[in-house]
Structure 1
Amino acid sequence: MNILWLITSLLLLCSCTPGFSMHDGIVGGEVSVPHSRPYMVYIRNPVSERVCGGFLIRDDFVMTAAHCGRHLTVYLGVNDTKHLPQGVPADSIQHEDFKNNAPGHDIMLLKLKTPASLNKTVNTITLPKTENREISKDCMVLGWGLEEYGHGFPSRVLKEANVTLLDSKKCVTTDTLCSEGTTGAAEGDSGGPLVCGDVAQGIVSFYTETNGGYCTRYTDIYQYLSWIHHKMKSPLQ
């Protein structure tokens, strides 16, 4: 999750414990059963070759992090990244208040130029409901990021790790959820979902090193439901 505003903002944001560090990948956890998470999307910038995760929320919309940038190609139904299907171009809809040099609003929709054909290997995940704020504390993050902190190679196959959400008061900012531990998401996993009780509750944004673990931040999808529904109804300008 290597973004410009990270360096200047993380110390102000993370209240888990002091400290700052950047590392790589879904560390720990386990390999996902192939195609058992059909909502997962592999995203790549064809020019910079930067990789992010994402998730399908409608047959024509993918959700990811705004810091993943624009001009992205989406790959649906991926398990092994060495065998990618035909990429789908998409139009990027970043949140208007997102800035590279400031925290917050790290959410983006990708409007697929060709809608997905939903099936057993390509399908959507549920978003939070406006009338229900309850979140299970036992959650999961997924991605194809590096498998060891600070070195190694990206995982060829999708991996997933369990995380436990902290009390919201420890997350400082109102538009984020957070977890703390020694396993979870990092570089290459940005934009992937925080899944709690089969609902996408968050978007992997950034994390910092803490005493004995890592404090990971997720954009709280619930806080952006009105924006999401508005953008999905509005024609692209």
Structure 2
Amino acid sequence: MAKFIQDRSMEASPLPSQVLQSLTRSARFLKTKEIQSVDVEKAFPHKDYNSTDYINDVMILKLSSKVKFSKTVKAIPLAGQNDGSPKSCIVSGWGSTSKENEPGQRSYRVLLGVHDYSKTKEIQSIDVEIAFPHKDYNPSNHINDVMILKLSSKVKFSETVKAIPLAGQNDGSPKSCIVSGWGSTSKENKSGRMSDVLMEVNVTLIDNEFCKSNGMYCSEGEVGPRIGDSGGPLVCEDGKAYGVVSHSFQDSYRYTMISDHIMTWIVSTIKNA
């Protein structure tokens, strides 16, 4: 399991859910000695945000504690209506350094072997060479909500880093499964405040015509994946991954099914990567 630096909301993410997890902690890279890590108490996305054309693409974050300003942490004043029209500007970030970084177009780093964020001594940190979101991913209904990541170097398997086998067409229909992640631990917590420790929960899959006809599994109930858990594996009785955590809708949780269609795409993408 690993997490990325990317996840806006489980309920309305405009991007495919990552096959691995989303690292929703801010710049927690390799040099973390002098950084401040502050939890977000509540997030306020613009009420008129449009995920199709990205109009009103802005969010306010209320932090759980005060920021300590220093030489490396300073406030940036906001322009006002009397400041005129800007011409020359600077943009900064940790994104891709190549315009040709297709098709993923974003920069990711995978952390392997993480269980507790406060204990990062033995983790593996590997850059993603290229990301492959499903070509037919639909951000409106989250159909084909899955992504493959090609890493820049090989993974070193160990007691804390192991592969999860994928279910095949002869494995039958799963019923009792486990989902895991570092997402919110409260159904009411829509602020995006995450767990520092890897959590897991048991879910029971239900018969749902919408999910079945759209290549998904569904579960219901008080427990299930929360904000920040998108991209985690749906592991069932036989220890195989049958799906990927996608999103929640009303009182149900939805998972992208690793169907024959998805498996064919996986094999083809890996072969041509």
Give the TM bin, normalised by the shorter chain.
0.5 to 0.7
What SS class does the counterpart of residue 118 from structure 1 fall into?
Answer: coil
Structure 1 CA distance for aligned equivalents of residues 171 and 124 of structure 2: 37
Structure 2 CA distance for aligned equivalents of residues 215 and 154 of structure 1: 20
What SS class does the counterpart of residue 148 from structure 2 fall into?
Answer: strand
| Native 8 Å contact 1:190 1:204 kept in 2 | yes
| Native 8 Å contact 1:43 1:74 kept in 2 | no
Residues 155 and 122 of structure 1: CA distance in aligned 2, closer, same or farther (over 3 Å): same
Q: How far is the alpha carbon of 1:69 from its aligned partner? A: 8.5
| Native 8 Å contact 2:22 2:230 kept in 1 | no
Q: Is 2:12 the partner of 1:3?
A: yes
In structure 2, list runs of 5 or more residues that go unmatched.
1-9, 29-103
Structure of larger gyration radius: 2
What SS class does the counterpart of residue 183 from structure 1 fall into?
Answer: coil
Q: Which of the pair has the greater relative contact order for Cα pairs under 8 Å at 6+ separation?
A: 1
Structure 1 CA distance for aligned equivalents of residues 195 and 154 of structure 2: 27
Q: Is 2:230 the partner of 1:230?
A: no
Partner of 2:139: 100
Q: Which amino acid aligns with 1:208?
A: F
Partner of 1:75: 111
Structure 2 CA distance for aligned equivalents of residues 205 and 187 of structure 1: 10
Structure 1 CA distance for aligned equivalents of residues 255 and 243 of structure 2: 5
Q: Cα deviation per residue 1:4-61 (whole Å; 9 max; x = unaligned)? A: 569xxxxxxxxxxxxxxxxxxxxxxxxxxxxxxxxx9554379788xxxxxxxxxxxx
What SS class does the counterpart of residue 206 from structure 2 fall into?
Answer: coil
What SS class does the counterpart of residue 207 from structure 1 fall into?
Answer: strand
Partner of 1:145: 183
Q: Which amino acid aligns with 1:186?
A: R
| Native 8 Å contact 2:21 2:231 kept in 1 | no
> Which is richer in helix?
1
Structure 2 CA distance for aligned equivalents of residues 128 and 218 of structure 1: 14
Q: TM-score, normalised by structure 1?
A: 0.67
Residues 46 and 216 of structure 1: CA distance in aligned 2, closer, same or farther (over 3 Å): closer
Structure 2 CA distance for aligned equivalents of residues 103 and 144 of structure 1: 21
Structure 2 CA distance for aligned equivalents of residues 140 and 162 of structure 1: 5
What SS class does the counterpart of residue 93 from structure 1 fall into?
Answer: strand
Structure 2 CA distance for aligned equivalents of residues 199 and 74 of structure 1: 21
Partner of 1:163: 203
The correspondence for 2:232, drawn from 158, 170, 192, is: 192
> Which is richer in strand?
1
| Native 8 Å contact 1:4 1:100 kept in 2 | yes
What SS class does the counterpart of residue 119 from structure 2 fall into?
Answer: coil
Pairwise CA RMSD: 2.7
Structure 1 CA distance for aligned equivalents of residues 13 and 158 of structure 2: 38
Q: TM-score, normalised by structure 2?
A: 0.59
Q: Is 2:153 the partner of 1:114?
A: yes
Partner of 2:218: 178
Partner of 2:245: 204
Structure 2 CA distance for aligned equivalents of residues 72 and 138 of structure 1: 32
| Native 8 Å contact 2:21 2:230 kept in 1 | no
Q: Which amino acid aligns with 1:227?
A: W
